[in-house]
Amino acid sequence: MNEVTNIMVVGIGGQGVMTAAEILADAALRLDHDVKKTEVAGMAQRGGVVTSQVRFGACVKSPVIIEGQADVLLSFEQAEALRWQHWLKADGVLLVNDNQLAPPVVNLGLFDYPENALAALHSGGRPMSAFNATAIALELGNVKLVNTVMLGAVAEALPFSAEHLLEGIVSRFRQSKPHLVALNERAFNLGRAASASQLARVS
C-alpha cells in the first residue's frame, strides 16, 4: 500500500459501518499514525446508506479519499459494494458481505435493487472476497457481530497486524461486557478465515 492507506467502509444503517470505521481509525492512532476520518450517515437510523472514509499514514492532509484511490473497499452489503467499487484503485482489495439488505429507496419503489450484483463485481477483475458475514454473525447468536466479522475480513489487507486490530476490538468489552470478549474474538477469526479463503481462490 501507499504511504497513506485509504479505506472505504460502506453499508446500510444499523450494520455497524461507523463503528467499524472508528475501530480502524483507533487502531491506526494507537500506532502513532496521522489519521483522518469522514462519514456520511444519511438516514442511518432508518436503514439508509452509510459510508465512512478512513485515511492514515505518516502525514494525512485531507479526510477525503479521491475517487479511484481507495486501497480497500469494505462493504457490509453487496449492492453498496457495486455502488462504490469505482472508488477503488485498479489493484485495490474488495471485501464484501454477501448479503442483500435493501435501503428505504428500494423498499419504497423509487429505485430497483441491482440484479446479479456479485457477478458484476467479480467481472471487475480486482482481488475480491465475498462471503456471508451476516450468516456467520447469526450462527454466533448476534447479528450485531457483523462488524467484528468484517473487521476480521479486512485484517490481512492492513499495514499492521491482525492481532493489533483484534486488541482494539476486545478492549472495548473487557471492562463493561467481559462476557463478549471471547465471542468477538471468535467472530473476528471467522471473518478473517472466510476472507482469506476467498482471496486465496482469486490468487
The helix/strand/coil state of 55 is strand
Mind listing the pLDDT tens digit for each residue in 123-178? 777 788 999 999 999 999 999 999 999 999 999 999 999 999 999 999 999 888 99
DSSP per-residue string spanning 63-121: SPPPTT-EEEEEESSHHHHHHHGGGEEEEEEEEEE------HHHHTTSSPPPTTHHHHH
> Rounded to the nearest 10 degrees, how much is the dihedral formed by the CA atoms of 171, 176, 178, 183?
-70
Residue 24 has pLDDT above 80, yes or no: yes
**Beta-strand relationship, 128-131 and 34-40:** unpaired
78 or 122, higher pLDDT = 78
Residue 198 has pLDDT above 80, yes or no: no
Residue 47 has pLDDT above 80, yes or no: no
Q: Where are the domains of the chain?
A: 5-112+124-202
At residue 107 the predicted structure's pLDDT band, cuts being 50, 70 and 90, is low
Tell me, what's the pLDDT at 2?
53
At residue 105 the predicted structure's pLDDT band, cuts being 50, 70 and 90, is low
Tell me, what's the pLDDT at 42?
57
Residue type, 18: M
Q: Which residues contact 114 (CB under 8 A, 6 or more apart)?
A: 79, 82, 120
| C-alpha cell at position 98 | 454477501
pTM comes to: 0.89
Q: Identify whether the C-beta of residue 133 lies closer than 8 Å to the C-beta of residue 142.
A: no
The CATH architecture annotation of domain 5-112+124-202 reads 3-Layer(aba) Sandwich (3.40)
